[in-house]
Structure 1
Amino acid sequence: MRRESVWVKTAVTGVVLGTAMALSACSASGQGAAAGSASPVAKKTVIVFAAASLKATFTQMADDLKKQHPELDIKLNFAGSQDLVAQIKAGAPADVVATADLATMDKLTANGSVDGTPQHFASNTLTIAVPPSNPANIGSLADLAKPGTRTVLCAVQVPCGAASQKVEKAASLTIKPVSEELSVSDVLGKVASGEADAGLVYKTDVQGSKGKVKGVDFPQSSSAVNTYAIGLVKGAPDADGGRLFLSDVTGDSGQAVLAAAGFGKP
């Protein structure tokens, strides 16, 4: 119980003083006497770097995991996979990193920034995102290459941009975007706001947009299925906490969250 020293000093009657002294004794000698009181849980901070397309699922996983492990304070950093690589190479503290393709993760393993072998945990496929009313009447991938169509793509160094380049090649198309973004969430934002007629994003982004955009599937998307990878960062500040999060992602509970969001098996 908390010692209320100010109250004791200002007490003017013997009864009040006696009560305060009893409370003080309880505090000093009976820490366990306060039935039902729990000691504060020491927090362990786990830092997770993850691709922008994982924001909804990893946030849910982190919330669920913290309920099971109150000692965990999970910090999530979402960005384009290439930005995450640059940050980790520059020495940014991180326990876990998850990228939207294998090529990006390979850059970290080649650099010696990953402890052990990264695990493949999900896959994703591109679709065309358009505003709900689809004002440009987009119905195929070829429509994105038509003059006057305001198309937004991920920059080629981003996993969704590399995938976009593959589907262009598969369809023998050259799409000239009005802008190239550094994350798939930025592409989605431009379409949702009406700044673009269409953009290439992942199917999970459309599903998670809550009606802000709708998807137009196209057959060439099968030529560019992205596999996601996750690994423990070498020299992780909290390697144990990182392993716990990684196990949750690759385990049954994490896989169920990913499947519900539209991700495929790796």
Structure 2
Amino acid sequence: MTCNLTVCNTGNHPTFTSTTVDTIHESIVDITLASGRAADRIADWKVNPDICPASDHHGIEFYYYIKKRILKKQAKLTTFKYATSGTCWNEFKEKLTDHLPLEIKDHNRISNMNSTELDNYIHSLTNSIQTFCDDQLPCSRPREARCPWWNDDLEQSKAKVIKQHHKLSRLKRQGRPLDEAIALKNSLRLEYSKLFSEYSNKHFREFCNRQGKEDVWAVTNRIIKTAPAPQPPTTIQKPDGTFTQTPIETAEAILHKFFPDDTPDTRQAHLEHRIQSNLPPPNTPNEPPSP
């Protein structure tokens, strides 16, 4: 190509599928382009229509090799032993209180313990909490990246769209009527899109409501903020009514406005202080002669 780019598409699987009343329109309009060196590292290019079933454009997958190694996203690591997302802490606290032995729940005797007794008490309390958490909380484990608001309803709705898409492709290969299959697929896609929008909007509202009172918009504004950062003024009006023309002139006008130069006659008291500074102080002893 004239731009030294290589087309990485392989095979003849369509990347775009559109359905009308009784017809399926397919084409290869999505093209993966890469420079010569990058194209040599791309392998196993394929079209995957199951990635985003709500779109007419199909997903594209491929491997990119770096020094004979596949470039993979690093799994997220965590230092937390338990997965506490969605835990009701008020209910957890009540169950934990019931689980602790009576001798541990008796806080009045802590003040009378010596160092050895206090260490034993802390050890018993830690073991009791650990045992209860092992029984009540699931352990954290690596998992695939997923939207926090994704749920079983969305998963099932997506699976229905994918299943109907495969059925539609099979009917086309067999030369059978497509009217009912196309109508059902469009209906399932519309239902999936509505669920997707509903749950995403609901999760965002819950996210905003979870912000604290003092910083209710602190996180939200960082997400939706699009205004540029405030910039210093490039020109200001001077006392004579004209405007500054350069940043240096603007800086000088601001300095003269807020930090004016002192003049001998700014105030009468200033003038008197300057005069007295040139006179020797009265009624002071002479300095002792130098040795």
Q: TM-score range by the shorter chain?
A: under 0.3
Higher relative contact order, chain-length normalized (CA < 8 Å, sep 6+): 1
The structure that has the greater radius of gyration is 2
Question: More strand per residue: 1 or 2?
Answer: 1
TM-score for the superposition, normalised by structure 2: 0.16
